[in-house]
Chain A
Amino acid sequence: MSRRNDDASVPQNGQIPSRAGVGLKPEHYRTILETAPDIGFFEVHAENYMGAGGPPHRYLTEIRNLYPLSLHGVGLSIGADRPLDRDHLNRLKGLIERYRPGLFSEHLAWSTHDTAYFDDLLPVPYTTESLSRVASHIDEVQEALGQQMLLENPSTYLTFAESTYSEIDFIAEIVKRTGCGLLLDVNNVHVASTNQQWDPLRYIDEYPLASVQEIHLAGYTPETDEKGRPLLIDTHDRPVDDIVWDLYQHTIGRLGPMPTLIEWDANVPPWPELKAEAERAEAIMSAIDRKEQARAIAG
C-alpha cells in the first residue's frame, strides 16, 4: 500500500505531520527507496550524518526528497558543566541547512567530560546550578541554530541525593526560561518511573504538555537492582511494551494526534516489523481522533 505519492497532506515545507514515523536505519535504506512505504516521517541521529560525503548522505538526500525528516541529536551534551562544543553546533547547523528537518531535538543529559565523549546519556542533578547551566546551553543552541529545539525527558537509573527539584519541575522551569519545546519519550517515562518508583500517569499529567511537539516510543530491557527492585534499561532493541502503549494511549488522549517516533536502534528488525509498530501508533491516534470527533458532534 502506498498512498504517499498522491497524498496532498505530505507537507512540502518539511513540517512533521501528526502521524507515526520511524528512526531511519541503514538496514532499511534500500527497502524504503524501492517500496516508498506510507510512513509519516523519518528521524535520524545527527551524528551519523556528520561526515563530509558518502553513502549516508546519498541515501538521506533521496529519502528526504520523499518524506519529512526530524533531526535528533545525541552528542551535544547539554547537561555538561563545560561550554558547548561550537564545532559540533556548527555541524548541526550545517545539517539543518542541508536537510531542513521539521524538528530538532536533544536530550536532558551529558555525555562529555574533559576531552572524552562517553556515547551515553548520563544523568543530570536537579539543582539550581545545573538548571542555569542547562538553560544557558539551550539558549546558546537555539541562538546558534536560529530555531527552537525540543528537549527530551531522560531515562534514569538513579538519582542525585543533592537534587532539589523534581524532574518535572526542573523541565518546566527550563521551558519557562528558554522557550524550548519538549519531546515526551513515553518509554523513558515508564523506565524512569519504574526505576524511581514514581507514578507514570501522574508524570504525564503533570508534564508541561502544552510544550510537547513530538513523542518517542521504544523498547526496554527489564533487570533488577541489588535489592531485587525492578531496574529497567532503555535499550531500544525490541518492540514497544504493552504498558508503554497504554501510557501512550493516555498521552494521546490528553494531547490529541502528535508526531510519534518508533525508536529501534539495536537488533534492528526487518522493515515490516518496524512499520507494524508505526501502524499501531497511528491506530491509537486515529481511535482517539474518532472519539474526539464523536464527542464534538455529541456535545
Chain B
Amino acid sequence: MQSLADRLGGFADALFDPTIVLPPGLVGPDGEPSPRRFAVYRNNVVVGLVEALKANFPSVCRIVGEEFFDAMARIFVASEPPTSPILFEFGIGFANFIAGFEPVADVPYLADIARLERAWHEAYHAPEANPLTAAALAAIPENQAAGITFSLHPSLRLIWSRFPILTIWRMNIGDGVPAPVDLTAGGEDVLLVRPAAKVEVCATPPGGYEFVEALQQGQPLTEAMKIALRADPRFDLSRNIRDLIAIGAFIDCHTANEPGRLTRGVRA
C-alpha cells in the first residue's frame, strides 16, 4: 500500500493538473472510481484561491474584467499557490506575474496597480503605532533640527510608477467611475499609511518619494532633503514635513545630540 505521504502527494498533484483525471482508489458509495467527486475538490481549491486573489486585488479585477481576471488568476494560482493559510497575504508575486503576462502587455500600468493594492493590504494589516504630533516635533530646538532622524510608521508603504496609478486606482475602486486617462502625462508616486483605522493614500509631491525613502533608510533630515532636491529641484521641505505629519507618517524622531532620547508620539 502507498504511504500516507505518497497518497496525499498524489491527491495534491492532481488538484492543479487537469491531465490527471482521477488518482486511483478514490471512490463513490458503490466503491467505483468517481472523477466527478474528485472534481469537487479540484474546483473548490482553484475557485477558492481565485476568489482569495480577487479579494486582494479588486481594482486589477475591475480594470481587466472579472472573466479575464479569473482566467489569469487560474494560471497564477496553479503556478504560485499560496504558501501560508493567511490568505490576505496571498499574491506577493502577483504584480511580477502580471508584468510578465503577455495577454496584458497592452495594459502597461496593471502591474503597478497590483503593487499598489498589495501595499494597501500590507498597510491595512500592519502593526498599530501612534503617529507623532506636530507639537512633539515643534518641541525640538531649532539648532538640532538639521540632524533629526525619523521613525516611520510601520504601515507606511511607497510605490513608484511612471503611470498615473493613483488616478487609475481611484477610478476602479469603491464608487470610482472610470474615465479617459492620459498615460503619457507623467507618473504618480504613491504613499500609503494607516495611522489609525483607515488606510490613507496620497500622491507624493515632487521629490517627496525620494525624501520619504531616504528618511525610511535612516538618513538625517538635511541629507534626505539633499537627496530629494537632487531628484527634483521643486522639492519643498516645509510642505513635505507638514503633509507627512498631517497624514501620520512618523511615529518618532531623534536628535543627533540625544540619540537615546525618544520623543514619543501622542495621539491627538
Known: A47-B87, A158-B27, A161-B26. A127 touches B126 (CB 8 A): no
- With both beta carbons as reference points, the residue of chain A lying nearest to B7 in the complex is identified as A125
Most B CB contacts (10 A, CB to CB) among A110, A116, A231 go to A116
Indicate whether B40 reaches chain A with its CB closer than 8 angstroms.
yes
Question: Are B41's CB and A120's CB within 8 A?
Answer: yes
Question: Are A119's CB and B125's CB within 8 A?
Answer: no
Residues on A with C-beta less than 8 A from B197 are 55, 58
Complex Cα spacing A225 to B155, Å: 48
Residues on B with C-beta less than 8 A from A197 are 29
Residues on A with C-beta less than 8 A from B8 are 80-81, 110, 113, 122
Partner of A117, one of B9, B25, B44, B82: B82
Question: Are B127's CB and A52's CB within 8 A?
Answer: yes
Indicate whether A34 reaches chain B with its CB closer than 8 angstroms.
no
Indicate whether B45 reaches chain A with its CB closer than 8 angstroms.
yes
Indicate whether A88 reaches chain B with its CB closer than 8 angstroms.
yes
Residues on B with C-beta less than 8 A from A270 are none
Question: Are A122's CB and B82's CB within 8 A?
Answer: no
Return the CB mask of A131-161 against B: 1 if under 8 Å, else 0. Answer: 0010000000000000000000000011111
Question: Are B84's CB and A117's CB within 8 A?
Answer: yes
Indicate whether A51 reaches chain B with its CB closer than 8 angstroms.
yes
Complex Cα spacing A75 to B52, Å: 14
Return the CB mask of B1-31 against A: 1 if under 8 Å, else 0. Answer: 1111101110110010000000011111111
Question: Are B127's CB and A47's CB within 8 A?
Answer: no
Residues on B with C-beta less than 8 A from A229 are 28-29
Indicate whether A227 reaches chain B with its CB closer than 8 angstroms.
yes
Question: Are A88's CB and B88's CB within 8 A?
Answer: no
Complex Cα spacing A295 to B45, Å: 49
Question: Are A74's CB and B41's CB within 8 A?
Answer: no
Question: Are B127's CB and A157's CB within 8 A?
Answer: no
Return the CB mask of B126-158 against A: 1 if under 8 Å, else 0. Answer: 111000000000000000000000000011000
Complex Cα spacing A157 to B41, Å: 8
- With both beta carbons as reference points, the residue of chain B lying nearest to A224 in the complex is identified as B36
Interface positions, chain B 178-234, Cβ under 8 Å from A, are 194, 197
CB distance from A54 to the nearest CB of B (A): 5
Indicate whether A271 reaches chain B with its CB closer than 8 angstroms.
no
Question: Are B31's CB and A161's CB within 8 A?
Answer: yes
- With both beta carbons as reference points, the residue of chain A lying nearest to B26 in the complex is identified as A158
Contact count band on B? 35 or more
CB distance from B127 to the nearest CB of A (A): 4
Indicate whether B86 reaches chain A with its CB closer than 8 angstroms.
yes
Residues on B with C-beta less than 8 A from A111 are 85
Indicate whether A226 reaches chain B with its CB closer than 8 angstroms.
yes
Residues on B with C-beta less than 8 A from A123 are 41
Known: A52-B127, A54-B126. A47 touches B86 (CB 8 A): yes
- With both beta carbons as reference points, the residue of chain A lying nearest to B11 in the complex is identified as A122
- With both beta carbons as reference points, the residue of chain A lying nearest to B24 in the complex is identified as A161
Complex Cα spacing A227 to B32, Å: 11
Interface positions, chain B 29-73, Cβ under 8 Å from A, are 29-31, 34-38, 40-41, 44-45, 48-49, 52
Question: Are B37's CB and A51's CB within 8 A?
Answer: no
Partner of B127, one of A53, A82, A160: A53
10 additional contacts, CB 8 Å, given A77-B85, A161-B26? A47-B87, A51-B124, A54-B194, A55-B197, A118-B48, A119-B85, A120-B48, A158-B28, A196-B29, A233-B40
Q: List 12 A-B contacts (CB under 8 A).
A: A53-B125, A54-B125, A55-B197, A77-B85, A80-B8, A119-B48, A119-B52, A127-B1, A157-B40, A158-B27, A229-B28, A229-B29
Residues of B within 8 A of A (CB): 1-5, 7-9, 11-12, 15, 24-31, 34-38, 40-41, 44-45, 48-49, 52, 81-88, 124-128, 154-155, 194, 197
Residues of A within 8 A of B (CB): 47-48, 50-58, 74-77, 80-82, 88, 110-120, 122-123, 125, 127, 129-130, 133, 157-162, 195-197, 223, 225-227, 229, 231, 233
List 3 A-B pairs, minimum CB-CB distance, nearest first: A75-B85, A51-B125, A113-B12
